[in-house]
Amino acid sequence: MYNKNFLIFTNLFPYFNDTQGGSFITNRLMILKSLNIDFNVYAIIPDDTYFVKLIKKSSGKKIYDNKKNNLELNGINYNYIKIHRNLLNVIKERTIREKIFLQYSNYILKILYDQIKNQNYNLIIAHGMYEPPAGLIAKIFSKKLNIPYVVNCQGSDINYKMQLSPELYIDVFENAAKVIFVSNALLEKAKNYGYSGNNAIVSPNGVDLDNFTLLDKNKIKQELGLKNKVVGFVGNLLPVKRADKLPEIFSEINKQKEVDFLVVGDGSLKKEIEQQCKEKKLNVIFTGKIPYDDIPKYMNAMDVLILPSRNEGFGSVIIEAQSCGVPVVGSDNGGIPEAIGDGGIIVKEDDYFEKRFAEAVIELLDNPIDRDILRQRSLSFSWENIVNKELEIY
């Protein structure tokens, strides 16, 4: 087998104030490293002016420290490639997207080419099609270095960004050796925008089975002061996750059954949700954002996990829950049905969604799925399995 040496560009990555960011990329790279595969990773970050940072801060967006050049996490070194952004650049990103993204990509080529041209890379891997799209950067380097590139799409890039510049995305995809999507639903979404799908592969995200595993449910419930059946939510408290409807869903469940609720995560809707739950006199524990390694403990306290998202690329939290022996009730949006499989219930979008969603939760509480069966289903989603399948593609 030939020596593998990968050049990797990513829009998704950990940072000093958010080491959990892009965890599905870090997990992939950790497996590659364990297999003695060589690679260099370049993360594309905005180098924003003070004024742009103020605007982003006011809208709750992530702020990056311009002084940082790299981060080493779990043995993976992320090299940060900075893209200067002033207010004019931000306006251009909304008006002449393809032109400004091409300028950004050519700038990255200019500053990196001499550094990497003699590294003997034999494949370029791009994670994400955000701003500027890592896939576009990969395409430009591919032409210059005369080696193929693969694009890996995770969800929001297709669900929200592709519609803004479909021709750019289609061009990047059609010229790639392969395009990997985390779900069939995401692939179909891209095809709806005009992508042929001829070079597409579906490969979901994986799960850390050593971390997400079966623990003593009763002991954890006792530690957390939970006395009843527990319905939980794990994720960002944002409209896309339908977090704004959690109080209504919880209230509908409580009409039929005395249940404790556990909400793990943070986001712009947190205060509003807390207030509504208080007004409805619901017994809800809000943990806020917690370390990633602590999530399995809270998942094991749950009897049902819910994911009512309005959009979802795949839904890795579903596999993480199932690996902890917890069934899932989810909406029929995006890749959620593919992730749930026979490990829960899927609720279709239609009238009275929240009421029907609550009824599905009650059904699972009354007729639970065996924890060992759920755990067994999750085993095929180990990161080792996922990465080895992707290595066959590479």
Domain boundary residue, one of 146, 174, 203: 203
Terminal Cα distance for the chain, rounded? 12
Please tell me whether residues 169 and 50 are part of one structural domain: yes
CB 375 within 8 A of CB 323: yes
Q: What phi and psi values does residue 282 have, to the nearest 5 degrees?
A: -95, 145
> Are residues 174 and 29 located together in one domain of the fold?
yes
Q: Residues 338, 262: one domain?
A: yes
- The structure tokens listed for 28 are 């992939």
Helix H, strand E, coil C: the string for the chain is CCCCEEEEEECCCCECCECCCCHHHHHHHHHHHHCCCEEEEEEEEEEECHHHHHHHHHCCCCCCCCCCCEEEECCEEEEEEEEEECHHHHHHHHHCHHHHHHHHHHHHHHHHHHHHCCCCCCEEEEECCCCCCHHHHHHHHHHHHCCCEEEEECCHHHHHHHHHCHHHHHHHHHHCCEEEECCHHHHHHHHHCCCCCCCEEECCCCECCCCCCCCCHHHHHHHHCCCCEEEEEECCCCHHHCHHHHHHHHHHHHHHCCEEEEEEECCCCHHHHHHHHHHCCCCEEEEECCCHHHHHHHHHCCCEEEECCCCCCCCHHHHHHHHCCCCEEEECCCCHHHHHCCCEEEECCCCCHHHHHHHHHHHHHHCCCCHHHHHHHHHHHEHHHHHHHHHHHC
Kindly state whether residues 154 and 72 are assigned to the same domain.
Answer: yes
User: Does residue 286 contact residue 260 with C-beta atoms inside 8 Å?
Assistant: no
Is residue 210 in some structural domain? no
- 324, amino acid identity: C
Structure confidence at residue 354 (pLDDT): 96
Q: Please check whether residue 391 lies inside any domain of the structure.
A: no
Are 154 and 228 part of one and the same domain? no
Residues in the chain: 394
The CATH number of whichever domain residue 31 belongs to comes to 3.40.50.2000
Contact 128, 161 (CB under 8 A): no
Q: Is residue 209 part of a domain?
A: no
Q: Residue 301 in contact with residue 233, Cβ under 8 Å?
A: no
**Does residue 162 lie in a domain region?**
yes
| Domain annotation covers residue 80 | yes
Domain boundary (161, 176, 203) is at 203
Are both 341 and 198 inside the same structural domain? Answer: no
User: Are residues 190 and 225 both part of a single domain?
Assistant: no
Q: Are residues 21 and 135 in the same domain?
A: yes
Condensed to tens digits (0 to 9), the pLDDT of residues 96-124 reads 999 999 999 999 999 999 999 999 999 99
Q: What is the pLDDT of residue 314?
A: 92
- In a domain, residue 392? The reply is no
Does 136 lie in the same domain as 15? yes
Domain count, the chain: 2
**pLDDT in single tens digits along all 394 residues of the chain:** 457 899 999 999 998 878 888 899 999 999 999 999 999 999 999 898 988 888 888 777 778 777 789 999 999 999 999 999 999 998 999 899 999 999 999 999 999 999 999 999 999 999 999 989 999 999 999 999 999 999 999 998 999 999 999 999 999 999 999 999 999 999 999 999 999 999 999 999 999 999 999 999 999 999 999 999 999 999 999 999 999 999 999 999 999 999 999 999 999 899 999 999 999 999 999 999 999 899 999 999 999 999 999 999 999 999 999 999 999 999 999 999 999 999 999 999 999 999 999 999 999 999 999 999 999 999 999 999 999 999 999 9
Is the residue at 387 inside a domain?
no
Strand 76-85 vs strand 70-73: parallel, antiparallel, or unpaired? antiparallel
Give me the domain span that covers residue 288. Answer: 217-379
Whether residue 123 contacts residue 148, with contact meaning beta carbons closer than 8 Å, is answered with yes
Cis peptide before 337 (omega within 30 of 0): no
CA nearest 267: which of 239, 310, 242, 238? 238
**What pLDDT score does 1 carry?**
45
My answer on whether 171 and 231 are in the same domain is: no
Burial category of 57 from C-beta neighbours within 10 Å (exposed 0-12, middle 13-18, buried 19 and up): exposed
Q: Say what the pTM is.
A: 0.91
Q: Give the Cα-Cα-Cα angle 150, 202, 104 (nearest 5 degrees).
A: 35
CB 158 within 8 A of CB 183: no
Whether residue 386 is contained in a domain is answered as no
Residues 238 and 267 in one domain: yes
242 sits in the region (left: phi over 0; alpha: psi -120 to 50; else beta) called: left
Nearest Cα neighbor of 257 from 328, 344, 354, 359 is 359
Residue ending a domain, choose from 203, 238, 268: 203
Q: What are phi and psi of 46, to 5 degrees?
A: -80, 135
- 155 and 244 fall within a common domain: no
The Cα–Cα gap between 67 and 62 comes to 15
